[in-house]
Structure 1
Amino acid sequence: MEKKYAIILFKGKEYLCGHEDGCHYDVSCPVRTFTEGEDDFKIQESGKNRSERTFRYHGKEFRLVTGFYPNGWPVLSLESPDNGELYTVLTVNLEDSPAFGIPDQAFIDINNNPEAMEFLIRNSLAEDTGYRRKSGWVEYPMAKLNLAELYRLSPESFENQE
């Protein structure tokens, strides 16, 4: 099966891109394109398989898995590396409208996981945008996701996303 996505390095920043007819496009912003022969970019190697990488959370080791809510917005969860059992979901879906492309942002569930944002930032998986959205009594922070790294950790989740 041919991979749908490539990681592009352009001006020191990585982008998760789809590709079509010699042109790569940022999956989170499809109007941002990188054209072979016109733009100075590099296609990054994914490196070693990172799908087995674990992260320390609450004193235990877990795999981070990316998935997608039914409306197309990203969901990040932690699961046991031994049996794949779900430990917790780090995101909350506050979006009413369907996603356009693959969003590079998600609301972090600090209600059930108060340290989730810090965990994502510490592991270079996300940045805090400073934006908050209130739902009930909680103001959930929005994170800008590092889609390139999330793809390296869970490529099958992205490849199955339609």
Structure 2
Amino acid sequence: MNEEIKVIKDDRGVEYKCLTYTSRFTGETDVAFDIQQYMNNGNMYIGLGCNEEGYLEPFADLTVNLGDTTPNYCAYVDTNNLPDAETFIADNELGTFTGFVKRSGYCEYPLYMFNPDKLRELCPDGIAMYEKNKGIVLENKQKNETR
């Protein structure tokens, strides 16, 4: 089930690409993506925001920082606070489970490899900054296609 990307606009006219997050607690919410990095290790951070009365407000953190450095495009998913997160990721082809988990307190957090192409679609500025900061150089597809 691959959901369609929607666009919401805030009161200032800023557009955000969104997917629908379905929660057993809150129902359906259109969420926009915020991609950044955790300061202590440079790992990928993915936050979700929702439109509240014309403004983008924080909805939840999709990822959690557990201290150790993860491979590029990988992050631990906060299944403690978002128990439906893995279904959301799978349904929207956002990433794949690596098979690794890390325990913190009473919870185990799955490590996901996120799909960079899908993240570029949803949050192009955030993923571009992440890649720049990580030193990830992308092959210029346009140059290769013209040769």
| Superposed pair shares fold, TM > 0.5 | yes
Following superposition of structure 1 onto structure 2, how do residues 122-137 of structure 1 map, counting pairs within 5 Å? 122-137=91-106
| Superposition deviation, residue 112 in structure 1 | 0.7
Q: TM-score, normalised on structure 1?
A: 0.61
CA distance in 2: counterparts of 1:73 and 1:107, whole angstroms: 10
| Superposition deviation, residue 104 in structure 1 | 1.6
Unaligned runs of 5+ in 1: 1-49
| Superposition deviation, residue 91 in structure 1 | 0.6
Whether the 8 Å CA contact 1:63–1:80 is kept in 2: the answer is yes
CA distance in 2: counterparts of 1:139 and 1:63, whole angstroms: 26
Q: 3-state DSSP class of the match of 1:85?
A: strand
Question: What is the aligned counterpart of 2:64 among 92, 105, 108?
Answer: 92
| Superposition deviation, residue 158 in structure 1 | 2.8
Structure holding more helix per residue: 2
CA distance in 1: counterparts of 2:120 and 2:67, whole angstroms: 22
How large is the Cα RMSD of the aligned pairs?
A: 2.0
CA distance in 1: counterparts of 2:120 and 2:113, whole angstroms: 14
Moved over 3 A (4+): none
Name the aligned partner's letter for residue 16 of structure 2: E
CA distance in 2: counterparts of 1:69 and 1:122, whole angstroms: 26
Question: What is the aligned counterpart of 1:111 among 67, 80, 85?
Answer: 80
Following superposition of structure 1 onto structure 2, how do residues 5-44 of structure 1 map, counting pairs within 5 Å? none
1:96-155 superposed Cα distances (whole Å, 9 cap, x missing partner): 34x67xx12110001111111111111010111121111111111111110121122111
CA distance in 2: counterparts of 1:96 and 1:132, whole angstroms: 12
Name the aligned partner's letter for residue 158 of structure 1: I
Q: TM-score, normalised on structure 2?
A: 0.67
Give the corresponding residue for 2:138. none
Question: What is the aligned counterpart of 2:115 among 136, 140, 146?
Answer: 146
Aligned residues: 110
CA distance in 2: counterparts of 1:145 and 1:155, whole angstroms: 14
Report sequence identity in percent.
29
Unaligned runs of 5+ in 2: 1-6, 8-14, 134-147
